[in-house]
């Protein structure tokens, strides 16, 4: 495989997706409308998203010696994602995510990490050759923090751009302060940014306040995705810029954030311009909500460019 444009260090899972009219409240049983299984995990989704967006991608992760792991590996191969450093653990099951999607396209997710929490710093060390030669490394928080931190440090030492999608959100930002010191670009959604900063994000001004607060922890660039309101970014504590969203009909928001992050990393690795990368990523995220499931919703580069050329933002 050629030198990758993007290296993703992250989780891989089998997604068990239930569609129902309304998500159940505490103690309530509801009737579902459909059930499907897809490959998922934020690392897996972002790697496939970046590949479909036009980048050469390698993933570093861990799956089990089970049928779910076999399926994930097959899908990565089909999508031409490099998997030389996809490790297999015979003692643990591949991670799973139980996802409930309602008629509004909103979801609730329960994750069982399985092998994802067994990915170690030693595993990451074995991939130092591709980490040091890539342009962008993309991280999330579905693996152990120590492993993500180790990968970030290795990348920073090689002058590689380090992007973190801090999902799922941690309740206390102090849990990730060491990691944030080694991040170049932080990409939370509005919920994650609110949880991390304690700021109730209701509009672009409060999102800007949250972005400035997050910068105090190390990242020089903050990109906060705001759903239908667009994506706001701030560089070096300067004024914010809001990139409007593309107007689409949402069917399932699963993996929309992953589509955004993967597409942004792909575009940034090849173009280098952040604002153009965010516009490209916004189109990818918009397309992702128009289809069900994680992997099936991740758009191709030509479809992203087509949306950008035909839709007014």
Q: What is the DSSP letter of 306?
A: H
Element (H, E) at 118: none
Among residues 123, 203, 258, 271, the one annotated as catalytic is: 258
CA distances from 313 to 51, 138, 278, 282, 301 (A): 25, 27, 13, 10, 18
Greatest CA separation found in the chain? 52
How far is it, in rounded angstroms, from Cα 230 to Cα 228? 5
In 3D, which of 207, 200, 145 has the Cα closest to residue 174?
Answer: 145
Whether 258 is catalytic: yes
* 148 to 125, 129, 218: CA distances (angstroms): 12, 17, 16
Phi, psi of 192 (to 5 degrees): -65, -40
> Cα torsion at 190, 193, 197, 198 (round to 10°)?
30
264, two tokens: 């942004």
Q: Look up tokens 């990565």; give the residue.
A: 76
Q: Residue 137: which of 120, 122, 116, 154 has the closest Cα?
A: 154
Closest by Cα among 248, 255, 242, 251 to 306: 248
Name which of 133, 170, 167, 138 is nearest 151 in CA terms: 138
Residue 24 CA: distances (Å) to CA of 49, 165, 168: 30, 28, 21
Q: Measured between alpha carbons, how far apart are the two ends of the chain, in Å? A: 37
The sign of the CA dihedral 112, 124, 6, 190 is positive
Active site residues: 258
């Amino acid at each position: 495989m050629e030198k990758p444009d993007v290296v993703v260090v992250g989780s891989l899972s089998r997604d068990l997706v239930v569609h129902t009219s309304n998500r159940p409240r505490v103690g309530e049983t509801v009737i579902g409308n459909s059930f499907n299984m897809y490959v998922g995990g934020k690392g897996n989704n972002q790697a496939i998203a970046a590949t479909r967006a036009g980048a050469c991608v390698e993933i570093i992760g861990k799956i089990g010696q089970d049928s779910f792991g076999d399926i994930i590996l097959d899908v990565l191969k089909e999508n031409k994602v490099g998997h030389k450093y996809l490790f297999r653990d015979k003692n643990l099951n591949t991670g799973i995510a139980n996802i409930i999607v309602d008629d509004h396209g909103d979801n609730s997710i329960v994750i069982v990490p399985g092998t994802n929490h067994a990915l170690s710093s030693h595993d990451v060390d074995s991939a130092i050759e591709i980490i040091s030669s890539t342009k962008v490394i993309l991280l999330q928080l579905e693996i152990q923090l120590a492993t993500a931190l180790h990968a970030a440090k290795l990348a920073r030492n090689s002058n590689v751009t380090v992007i973190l999608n801090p999902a799922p959100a941690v309740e206390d930002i102090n849990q990730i302060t060491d990691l944030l010191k080694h991040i170049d670009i932080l990409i939370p959604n509005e919920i994650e940014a609110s949880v991390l900063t304690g700021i109730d994000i209701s509009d672009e001004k409060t999102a800007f306040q949250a972005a400035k607060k997050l910068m105090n922890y190390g990242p020089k660039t903050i990109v906060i995705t705001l759903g239908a309101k667009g994506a706001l970014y701030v560089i070096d504590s300067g004024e914010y810029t809001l990139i409007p969203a593309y107007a689409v009909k949402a069917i399932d928001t699963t993996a929309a954030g992953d589509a955004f992050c993967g597409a942004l990393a792909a575009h940034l690795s090849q173009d280098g311009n952040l604002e153009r990368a965010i516009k490209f990523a916004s189109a990818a995220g918009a397309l992702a909500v128009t289809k069900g499931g994680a992997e099936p919703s991740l758009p191709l580069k030509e479809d992203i460019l087509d949306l950008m050329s035909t839709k007014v933002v």
